[in-house]
Amino acid sequence: MNIKLSKRVMIMSEIMTPEKANFSGNVHGGHILNFLDKVAYACASRYSRKYVVTLSVDRVTFREPVHVGELLRCLASVNHVGKTSMEIGIRVESENLSTGKVRHTNTSYFTMVALDDNHRPTLVEPLSLDNEDETRRFQEAIRRRELRHQLKEAYSQIKEDVKINLKKGSIDD
């Protein structure tokens, strides 16, 4: 079987085995995060044909537990490309191999930066949008980027407010 996927899309799967379990018997969230980082790396590197590093991870919410014995499937796509960075969206599904039941357990967004041979940020090929779904993902990625910038500004303001209050000697609880 020869399935040709766009270089902007990737599917990776891994069976969840007992050594990946936490103390409650479900798959450890840290293992899932590690796998997601590998998926984001593979998708971004495949698209850019460059070595990439993780710049940020947006909103990792564990909607449902992943159980030992299930197949964890990650569907990744390049949603947005800046000058040197790419947003990789990842939908995580867990499949019970005995029943065939598939559950959506997580959605995450990774920002990856392409590096040149000197480990400096390097330009990435612009993204062409071929259908409505890709256009929607692109627009949503732009909005998430705007929200990240707003959040960064808000955190900076909090730091300034705390510095001012520390100088005054008054911090409200």
* Tens digits of residue pLDDT in 146-172: 998 898 899 888 888 777 766 676 555
Q: How confident is the model at residue 169, as a pLDDT?
A: 65
Closest-CA residue to 69 (of 91, 37, 47, 101): 101
- pLDDT score recorded for residue 106: 93
Tokens of 138: 């692109």
Question: Do 93 and 105 form a contact (C-beta atoms < 8 A)?
Answer: yes
CATH topology of domain 9-127: Thiol Ester Dehydrase; Chain A (3.10.129)
Q: How far apart are CA 165 and CA 173, in angstroms?
A: 12
pLDDT at 170: 57
pLDDT at position 59 is 79
pLDDT at 162: 76
Q: What is the pLDDT of residues 105-145, one digit of tens each?
A: 999 999 999 999 999 999 999 999 989 999 999 999 999 99
Q: Are 55 and 80 in contact (CB under 8 A)?
A: no
CA 157/CA 131 separation, integer angstroms: 40
**Tens of pLDDT along 41-68?**
999 999 999 999 999 998 788 999 999 9
Locate the domains of the chain by residue range.
9-127
pLDDT at 156: 86
Average pLDDT estimate for 86-114? 97
pTM across the whole model: 0.85
Over residues 7-31, the mean pLDDT reads 94
Distance from C-alpha of 52 to C-alpha of 114, rounded to nearest angstrom: 4
